[in-house]
């Protein structure tokens, strides 16, 4: 896994935006996998700035969101549908008929078929070109909680107490208001993307980052599955990198990469 360590959250967000903007400019009809949460907000803001000031064009981009809370309608203020509109989609020229966000109100007896269809829609779109990811404090990607199968596909997943506690900050700090389950892309679904870009910021994510990058490949840290990916890139700030044992090596290799690219 390529590891890029930036000074702070702002620099991390700018670097992530560099990769996404490059992907979109190189392939205007790119298919992007998108996350929610606090970590990617800075990246979305930087992409919006580039749309407004640098003519970054999203008109032909297709998106698939990683997940959605089960039981929340799209109109709910804490739904990921509203999050994406408010933090990204309403501020760029993307066509909403190219936007895909799981429907958290699917009937339980229809969930399996719905999730299978979500997988088919991604295939019909040509597959995910670039999957943007955050990582949870317990090392999860998407809502693939510890213990999730590394071969899992889009499905309904029960949320652990730690995740619900973390997310309660969005629900008036009341864990009882946090949904008990979510629809989420599976680990194997995520690994199907041509490029995976994992972001992490802050010391609170340091141990999860260490386990994902340097720990054993294990379903107890689903982020560690990115070690299997041929083009996975972690972009983290110095605080999130603070527990890495090979931090100096990652810094060195990025310096050498920059020198080699400059030479050729």
Which active-site residues does the annotation give? 67, 138, 140, 145
Query: d(Cα 136, Cα 109) in Å, to the nearest integer?
Result: 29
Query: d(Cα 71, Cα 73) in Å, to the nearest integer?
Result: 7
Angle at 182 (CA atoms; ends 177, 187), nearest 5 degrees: 145
DSSP sequence for 153-180: -SEEEEPPHHHHHHHGGGTTT-GGGS-S
> Which of 257, 236, 189, 228 is CA-nearest to residue 6?
236
Question: What angle in degrees, to the nearest 10, is found between the helix axes of 9-26 and 41-54?
Answer: 50
Query: CA-CA-CA-CA torsion for 70, 75, 78, 83, nearest 10 degrees?
Result: 110
The secondary structure element, H or E, covering residue 65 is: strand 62-65
Query: d(Cα 16, Cα 217) in Å, to the nearest integer?
Result: 25
């Amino acid at each position: 896994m390529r590891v890029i360590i930036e000074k702070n959250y702002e620099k991390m967000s700018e670097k992530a935006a560099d990769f996404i903007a490059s992907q979109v400019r190189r392939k205007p009809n790119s298919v992007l996998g998108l996350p929610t949460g606090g970590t990617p907000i800075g990246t979305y803001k930087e992409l919006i700035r580039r749309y407004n000031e640098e003519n970054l064009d999203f008109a032909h981009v297709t998106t698939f969101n990683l997940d959605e809370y089960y039981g929340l309608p799209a109109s709910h203020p804490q739904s990921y549908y509203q999050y994406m509109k408010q933090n990204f989609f309403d501020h760029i020229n993307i066509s909403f008929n190219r936007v895909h966000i799981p429907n958290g109100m699917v009937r339980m007896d229809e969930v399996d078929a719905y999730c299978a269809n979500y997988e088919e829609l991604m295939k019909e779109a040509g597959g995910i070109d670039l999957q943007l990811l955050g990582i949870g404090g317990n090392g999860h990607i998407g809502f693939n909680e510890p213990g999730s199968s590394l071969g899992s596909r889009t499905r309904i997943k029960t949320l652990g107490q730690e995740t619900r506690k973390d997310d309660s900050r969005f629900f008036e700090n009341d864990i009882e208001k946090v949904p008990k389950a979510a629809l989420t892309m599976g680990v194997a679904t995520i690994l199907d993307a041509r490029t995976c870009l994992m972001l992490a910021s802050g010391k609170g994510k340091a141990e999860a980052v260490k386990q994902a990058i340097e720990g054993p490949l294990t379903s107890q840290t689903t982020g560690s599955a990115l070690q299997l990916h041929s083009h996975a890139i972690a972009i983290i700030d110095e605080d999130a990198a603070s527990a890495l044992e090979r931090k100096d090596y990652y810094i060195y290799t990025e310096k050498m990469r920059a020198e080699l690219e400059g030479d050729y």
